[in-house]
Amino acid sequence: MGGLFVTFEGGEGSGKTTQLRLLANRLRALPEEVIETRDPGGTPIGKEIRTLLLSRDSTPMEEATELFLYEASRAQLVREVISPALARVAVVLCDRFTDSTVAYQGFGRGLDLTLIQRLNQLATDGLTPNLTILLDLDPGVGLARCMRSSSGEAASRDRIEAEPVHFHRRVREGYLELARQEPERIRPIDAALSVAEIETAVWDEFDRLRRSQFTVHG
């Protein structure tokens, strides 16, 4: 095993970060070298960009500015963290990647999908995840979870969480459309299930990927 790139996608409050960490812990027990990272973020430059992107003080932000900032953070992350880790056959688990930009900036903001795909290609050198776990959840439920985790204070939500619910519904539709287009790579899981049920489903998907890699390379 190793040299696998798995991303976790989904709307706000879908539990991506929790499930990524659960899978990482399970893999380290095997043991495997596992790299946990996130997009945007994951590098010193990326962390600065992430702060800028999510800060409520960055409102208003031009849609093109937002798009280019996400791609800039991603370009740094791929070259500094993800590609070197894959080269030494580590398992890389990333909280969001290119599908987020298609869903949020493409379907959510209405920016040109062809342009986004071209920028994603440039930022990643064509790198595509081996598996994408899509934690699908009704946006109303997800945003309510975010409110509970932020002590119910709307002012504590980040700039993206604070977008109106119809924006988040468009994002969800974008994710589901991507899953329809790439059913082998993008595997939806009902994020309304319990944490333990989702963890089992995530492991099943990862194990399916691992077995397919053994078949190809065995």
H helix runs in 78-194, sequence order: 83-87, 98-101, 113-124, 139-149, 165-181
- Residue 139 maps to which CATH number? 3.40.50.300
Q: How many domains is the chain partitioned into structurally?
A: 1
Give the confidence band of 8 by pLDDT, cuts at 50, 70, 90.
very high
Separation between Cα atoms, residue 101 and residue 109, nearest integer Å: 10
E strand segments, 61-174: 91-95, 131-136
Q: What is the pLDDT of residues 153-189, one digit of tens each?
A: 555 689 999 999 999 999 999 999 999 999 999 999 9
Q: In a 3-state reduction of DSSP, which class is residue 38?
A: strand
What is the value of pTM for the model shown?
0.94
Share of residues in the chain with pLDDT > 90 (%)? 88
Q: Which residues pair with 91 in a beta bridge?
A: 4, 34
Q: What is the pLDDT of residues 56-67, one digit of tens each?
A: 999 899 999 999
Separation between Cα atoms, residue 199 and residue 184, nearest integer Å: 19
Q: Which domain holds residue 210?
A: 4-217
Instruction: Count CB neighbours of 125 within 10 A.
Output: 11
**pLDDT for res 152:** 52
Q: Which residues pair with 35 in a beta bridge?
A: 92
Considering Cα of 58, then 62, then 51, then 13, what sign does the dihedral take?
positive
